[in-house]
Amino acid sequence: MKVGLIGVGTMGSQMARKLLTNGYEVIAFDINPSALARAQEIGASPARSPRQVAEIASIILLSLPLPNDVEGVVQEAEGVLAGSQPGHVIVDLSTVDPFTTQRNAALAKEKGVGYLDAPVLGRPQACGNWTLPVGGEVVYLDKVRPILEKLAKKIIHVGPSGHGNIIKLLNNMMFGAINAVTAEIMAICAKLGMDPKVLYDTIATSGAASVSNLFIELGPKMINRDFTPLFTIDLLHKDLKLALEMAQRAGVPVIVGHSNQLVNEMARAKGLGNEDTSSAVKVYEEFIGRTISGEVKGGGKK
């Protein structure tokens, strides 16, 4: 069976590999020639445009960076809708706002095309074990479920169009909070003359309600100064920007989220945008006038 895949970067390349391994023929497109070439090397068939992808495959997956990218790929003259036929299904696995999804879904419906938002909860390397909160009509989810089951362990229909996006953005708001507060407590600990490794080891093994898997990952990365990107400051900043705009549109005041975004903005101003989110600790190091370091085995080391 042919599956279209538009966007074969960090996340999309993992999807391509997983689908190819499971016997699907992947019709791929990416504006980055290098990314498309790498997808071709692992067995994907390249397309000239999103439109051509939809002309070849009836199910099209999107994995793109920004809302504007998704809108362009869907709506432009050489976009997916231009090549789609009634009964086709578009599944957007990107991290975008619900309003972009709802606009695209309305246009797709006019053509008799299904449109689902299924943003990824999980790291790229965990493809196959992801959780996908899916918004849109159940009839279309049922149609694409066998494909999504190759990418995710959990597929949860969470409501109408855009509701998957809401969950993703709110989830990443929590990510931002844990990331920022982990950097902050490491700095306070070091400033008070205590070894951050002792702080981490004690809390991580305590069974306290405050302990999260993300803290267990981030603590060692900060202490070991391992800022190899699993998820970059720039990406977190983008996701929180979308989440804050969503909250503003909903008329909900956001206090904690804005504070967390300020940490990301300061990190980006220091040129840390391409580093892992754990590099936010460097913002606090500048305040306290010392470097947080040590060695923690396991944890965030990948």
Active site residues: 168
Cα pseudo-dihedral 41, 22, 125, 174, rounded to 10: 130
Query: Can you tell me the distance from the alpha carbon of 264 to that of 281, in angstroms, rounded to the nearest whole number?
Result: 10
Query: Can you tell me the distance from the alpha carbon of 164 to that of 240, in angstroms, rounded to the nearest whole number?
Result: 16
**If residue 60 lies in a helix (H) or strand (E), which one and from where to where?**
strand 59-62
Q: Which residues contact 77 (CB under 8 A, 6 or more apart)?
A: 51
- SS3 (DSSP) at 70: helix
- Tokens linked to 258: 């804005």
Residue 134, φ and ψ in degrees, nearest 5: -110, 130
Query: Can you tell me the distance from the alpha carbon of 5 to that of 168, in angstroms, rounded to the nearest whole number?
Result: 21
Q: Which residues contact 281 (CB under 8 A, 6 or more apart)?
A: 182, 183, 186, 187, 222, 292
Answer for the pair 176, 214: CB distance below 8 angstroms, yes or no.
no
**If residue 300 lies in a helix (H) or strand (E), which one and from where to where?**
none
Query: Can you tell me the distance from the alpha carbon of 19 to that of 8, in angstroms, rounded to the nearest whole number?
Result: 12
- Tokens linked to 90: 């578009």
